[in-house]
Amino acid sequence: MTKTKTSPHKFHIPVMGTGHSLDTPIRVAPYGISSVISLVDDLLLEDVRQYYSEKYELNYTPIPRNEDDGRAKRVTAYLNMVNEIVSLRFEAIRKLPFHQDNEKKTYFELLPDDSLLKKEYLEFINFPACNPHTHRLNLETRLNEQMVPGSIDVNIMVKLDRLNFKDGKPLDDIFSDAKVALKGYANSSLHSSLILSAGINQKLFSYMTNFPDFYRDKSGYIKKKIILKVSDYRSTLTQGKFLARKGLEVHEFRIESGLNCGGHAFPSNGYLLPALLQEFKENRHNLSEAFKPLVKKYYKNAGLTYPEINTDKQPLLTVQGGIGNNAEVRRLMGYFGMDATGWASPFLLVPEATCMDDTTRTLLKNAGESDFYLSDVSPLGVPFNNIRNSGTDIWTKSRAAAGKPGSPCRKGFLASNTEFSGKPLCIAASAYQKKKLAELASKNLPEEETQKAKEAIEVKSCICDQLGNSILIGLGLVEEKNAPQCICPGPNLAWFNRTYSLKEMVDHIYGRGEEIIPPERIHMFAKEILMYIDHYENLVNDCTYEPSKIKTLTAFKSNLEAGIAICLSIAKEKPYPHENLQSIPDCVSRERARLDRIHTRFEEKSEAALNNTNKN
């Protein structure tokens, strides 16, 4: 695609696992909606590329697994194919006539009501189709010119940066998974954004300097923009400054709740989302001021001219994780000044937006609050949002019960453990679990301790492969019986209980029509308070009471209390229509005693531990 204007929509669809948003741009970008593709699994990209190339009669040349630089080539080929299909679909919609019940009408009806493009469209359709009035003709031309597709964005989880081997020998660092995925995106034809998530990877960030598309051209345009997914203001400054020193500008900071989200959860040390948003709101201007001088210095030292055209804009601030209705959108955008919101898990119940097997979709729409939980199944050792009785859940337990724990490691994207071998193994793999269980048996621990350790080993699931199975089943590429389905929805999905059309979900986001979630659903801020108190209790239960642990958990409680105070202050504001603000003080009233009990127990054990340390 050529240079594009920004989509007029005020929401995006974030990345969902390795497969659940893999073809979402093909489905929604022609209607102007932006979404995000995961670049973890290039082998899955290749399977889906073959399917869509055949469906749209595009040229397809396989890229074998063992081809030199194959991972980068597969990423580039997939993204170029998606770009081509979106371009074809979008241009076909643009050429459709107005005043008819077609996809062009859908495009404009989906737009937010306060967008200039939507207002001009409504003005235009009020002119009779047979009226050759000059203003009407000008409006028609302008509407067609201003139509833009949604952005085809990509996500790299920066910590998934496995070193690769060839002929048993490790390859150079530039061939690590994250860097090669970055190269594949950089070489693609996309004009879009790269979302970097899960922390900082300095080597990866430095590697970006090899690709001109991340820098401004003479007109000031950046072909490939950078979005950082962040969880606190301090790390935002750190990452932004590191990139700025290399001349790399952050287009958007995507703030995500640490717990009230889907996928891997990265809980903060007690910082609730409203507290984080308040800090961003108060310091927003400082973000640009902190980065721009460093960027300009890089350009100058590199002998480049920094174009001043349209470079005074602040980085965008967006937020995602647990949002349930338009009232909460208005709270986030009106009260905290966010530019847009992200909606992920609800789109799992929108077949027009996501592709998955019928079994998993049915499981999701029938699930209640107790079915969604934060699990230990991820081989990364990071909490992973899960749903009970998924295909992967059933398959993993059945293998362990049959004496065959673990999974075949077909792809190895999460292979990082070297305790039994020089070559990394994934701790969800059969090869690793067999060795680990044998080691456990040799220790002759008490039965209860052995059983607990055994369960901790066997619970790990092959998420790198099985997160992609649902789309493969949905596209008819594999049979369900041979492909256990892993999925990682956020807990907010419990309140969405059927499948929805794309129009229904977009109208829900923008507050058009009837609410599709029940009024008793508690506010997203109240839900986050509950989740962080649960998390605090788990941390206290597992605490070993070293001085550093005590210090961390003491700060956690203090941060949590400060966040609760902000939430209670918000609850005193006038609610937006359908905003359940009263659920915040109700939640705090119910849970305050539990929090105090947990903290009292923690203080008693902390004091005892410190006394023992002093005696010794």
CA distances from 588 to 535, 581, 591 (A): 16, 12, 5
Q: What is the pLDDT of residues 354-399, one digit of tens each?
A: 999 999 999 999 999 999 999 999 998 888 999 999 999 999 999 9
- Grade residue 1 by pLDDT with cuts at 50, 70 and 90: very low
pLDDT at 228: 95
* Residue 520 CB-half CA count within 13 A: 2
Q: What is the pLDDT of residues 238-250, one digit of tens each?
A: 999 999 999 999 9
pLDDT at 131: 60
Phi, psi at 219, each rounded to 5°: -85, -5
- Residue 563: pLDDT above 50? yes
pLDDT at 568: 97
The single-letter DSSP state of residue 215 is S
Query: How many whole angstroms separate alpha carbon 264 and alpha carbon 374?
Result: 9
Tell me the domain boundaries of the chain: 11-348, 357-486, 522-615
Q: What is the pLDDT of residues 388-422, one digit of tens each?
A: 999 999 999 999 999 999 999 888 888 888 888 77
- Residue 310: pLDDT above 70? no
Beta pairing partners, 384: 264, 375
- Residue 444: pLDDT above 50? yes
Q: What is the pLDDT of residues 202-211, one digit of tens each?
A: 899 999 999 9
Residue 11 is encoded by which pair of tokens? Answer: 């929401």
pLDDT at 128: 63
Query: How many whole angstroms separate alpha carbon 500 and alpha carbon 367?
Result: 16
pLDDT at 615: 67
Q: What is the pLDDT of residues 144-198, one digit of tens each?
A: 999 999 999 999 988 877 777 776 676 777 878 899 999 999 999 999 999 998 7
Mean of per-residue pLDDT scores for the chain? 92
Query: How many whole angstroms separate alpha carbon 469 and alpha carbon 475?
Result: 10
CA dihedral of 4, 9, 14, 18, whole degrees rounded to 10: -60
CA dihedral of 333, 257, 196, 334, whole degrees rounded to 10: 0
Which residue would you say has higher pLDDT here, 288 or 186?
Answer: 186
Contact 413, 40 (CB under 8 A): yes
CATH of domain 11-348: 3.20.20
Which residue would you say has higher pLDDT here, 368 or 286?
Answer: 368
What is the b/e burial string over 418-440, where b = at least 16 CB atoms within 10 angstroms of the residue's CB?
eeeeeebbbbbbbbbbebbbeeb
Q: What separation, in Å, do the N-terminal and C-terminal C-alpha atoms of the chain show?
A: 69
- Grade residue 85 by pLDDT with cuts at 50, 70 and 90: very high
Average pLDDT over residues 304-315: 77
Query: How many whole angstroms separate alpha carbon 353 and alpha carbon 344?
Result: 10
